[in-house]
Amino acid sequence: MKPLLNRNCWAVILGLFGLVCDQAWSYKILGLFPHPGASHFHFFEPVLKGLAAAGHEVTVVSHFPKDNPPPNYVDIPLEGMKLLSDSVSFELFEYRPAFSHFMEFFMLYDWGKQACDNALNSAAIKQVLESKVQYDLILVEQFNNDCMLGVAHLLNAPFIGLSSCPLMPWHYDRVGNPINPSYIPALFMGYSEKMSFSQRTANFITAQTFKAMYSWFNDNAANAMIKQRFGDGMPDIKDLQKRTSMMFVNQHYSLSGPKPLTPAVIEIGGAHIQEFKELDPELKKLLDTADHGVIYISWGSMIRAETLPEDKRNAILSALGSFKQRVIWKWENETLPNQPSNVYIRKWLPQKEILCHPKVRVFMSHGGLLGSSETAYCGVPVVATPMYGDQYNNAAALEHRGMGVVLPYEQITRDTVYDSLKKALEPATMEKAKQVSYSYRNRPMNPVQTAVWWCEHVVATGGLPLAKSYSTELPWYVYHLLDVNFALHAFNFVYHLCWFWLVKRVCCRGVSAFSEPKVKTN
C-alpha cells in the first residue's frame, strides 16, 4: 500500500504544480474593436480564440459577441450601431470620379468618429474601466481612428495594433516602418509594385496627402473625443500611437508584395482561414458533379448583389450562359431574372470551403482582402471587380502575380465579362495561382500560432522595447535628412560661390590684381 500511496501523492503534487504553472503563464488579454464591420472582426476573431485556446483569459469588447464562446473567452458587447453587413448598394459606385479615393477617406473618417463616440460612451468601456482588472496586454484595431488608445493608456498595459488590411499610409510612422512610394502602392490607388512615372507621381502625392489628412482630421477628432471623455490630462494621440508595441497585419508577401518591415510588423495574412467544415449534401453534389468545373461568384458581406443594375446583371448572365462551366452565385434574393440553366444561386455560401474544392476554376469577386486571401490560399484564378478601399490594391496584386484579371465596374459588358473569364480559365493563369498558393500556405508557423507567440513575447518583454525603432522619436525633417541635405547644399553653394568669386577676380582684373601695385615716380 505504501508505494501506491506515494505514487498518488506524487500525482497530486505534479498536478498542483502543473496548475500553478498554467496560472503563472496565463495572461489577461483585452481586445478593443469598436468598428462595426463584420469582415474586419472575422480576421481578428481567430487570433482571440487562439489566445484563449492557449490558456489566456481573453476579454473582447466588440459588436460581435459569440453565442457559445469557447473557454477563457468573455464577450462585453458594444451596442448602438448598425452592423456593416449587406448594407452597400451598387448605386454608390455608378459615378466614381478620379478623386474618389479622397471621398472614401472622408467616409472612413466619418465611420471612425461614429464608432469611437459610440464606444467611448458605451456601457462596455465603462465596465472595463471600472472593473480595475490589470490587463497584461491589449489588442486594438488600428483602422480609421485611434481613440481606443486612450483606454489602453488608462489601463496602463502594452498594446498591439491589428489591421485587417495591408499597412495604411498612416500606420508606417507609428512603428518606424519605412514607406517608399516608388514601389509600395498606397491604399485605394489600385497599383501594383510595378508603376509608371505618372502612377508613381500619383502614388507619392496620395501617400503623403493621406498621412497629412489623417493627422489633421482623424487625430484631432480622436484627441477631442478622448479629452472630452477622460479629461484634459490625456496625452496627445500621436504620442499614444508611438507606444504601439507591434502591429499584426493582414498581408503576406506572396499576395500583397514584398515590403521592408521592421521587427515590430508581423504578417499574419490568412489568419481567418481556419476550421474547414463539411459542405452540405446538396452543395457538395453540385460541386462534385460539375464535369467542366465551377465558376464561383461573390461580392462579399457588405455589397448586396441584388442591387446590381439590370444592364450589368444581364451582361454578366449572358456571358455566363455561354460557358460550359457550372456557376454558383451568392445572391440575396430568391429569384434571379434571366437566369441561365448553368447558374445556381444561394443567399449564403461557405466561401473558403467552396474555393478549396478541386472543381472550382474561377472566382468572380470584388477583391476584398478576406476573399483574396482565401483564393490565394486555395490557388484559384480571379476575375476582380474592385469597388472601394483596399480592393483596388488587392485586385492589382492578383493581376500582377498572373493569377487574376481586373474588370472595372464601369466596363462591365457581355464581351468584357466573357473575355475576362476566358483569360482566367487559361491553364497558365491556374499555374500562377498554384505558385502563389504554395508560398501562401508554406510558412514556419501558421498565422494564428505566430500571433499567439508574439503576444506572449510582448507581455514577457514588457512591451517589446528592443524592437522599437528610434525613427519614431525623430522629427520629420530629421527622419528625411532634410537638415543634412540643407547643410550639404549650403556648403556646396558657398564652395562654388568662392570659386566663382576667385575666377571672376582673375578674369576681370587680370593676374596683376594679385601683384604689388606700381608707384608712379615721375
pLDDT digits over 241-259, tens only?
999 999 999 999 999 889 9
117 phi and psi angles, rounded to 5 deg: -60, -40
pLDDT digits over 67-116, tens only?
899 999 999 999 988 876 656 666 667 677 777 778 888 888 999 999 99
CATH, domain range 281-441: 3.40.50.2000
For the chain, give the percent of residues with pLDDT over 90.
66
For residue 463, what pLDDT is reported? 92
- DSSP secondary structure code for residue 517 in this structure: P
Look at residue 34 and tell me whether its pLDDT is greater than 90.
Answer: yes
Segment 482-505 mean pLDDT: 90
Look at residue 519 and tell me whether its pLDDT is greater than 50.
Answer: yes
Average pLDDT, the chain: 88
CA atoms within 13 A on the CB side of 411: 14
Q: How many Cβ atoms are within 10 Å of 343's Cβ, its own excluded?
A: 20
- DSSP secondary structure code for residue 167 in this structure: P
pLDDT digits over 271-302, tens only?
999 888 899 999 999 999 999 999 999 988 77
- Exposed e or buried b for every residue in 388-412, given b needs 16+ CB within 10 A? bbbbbbbbbbbbbbebbbbbebeeb
User: What class has domain 28-273+446-473?
Assistant: alpha beta
CA gap 89, 299 in Å, rounded:
11
pLDDT digits over 42-65, tens only?
999 999 999 999 999 999 999 999
Contact present, 324 and 358 (Cβ < 8 Å)? no
pLDDT digits over 102-154, tens only?
888 888 899 999 999 999 999 999 999 999 899 999 999 999 899 999 999 99
CA gap 433, 442 in Å, rounded:
14
pTM of the predicted model as reported, rounded to 2 decimal places: 0.87
Question: How does residue 9 score in pLDDT terms, banded at 50, 70 and 90?
Answer: low
For residue 307, what pLDDT is reported? 81
Question: How does residue 21 score in pLDDT terms, banded at 50, 70 and 90?
Answer: very low
Q: How many Cβ atoms are within 10 Å of 135's Cβ, its own excluded?
A: 20
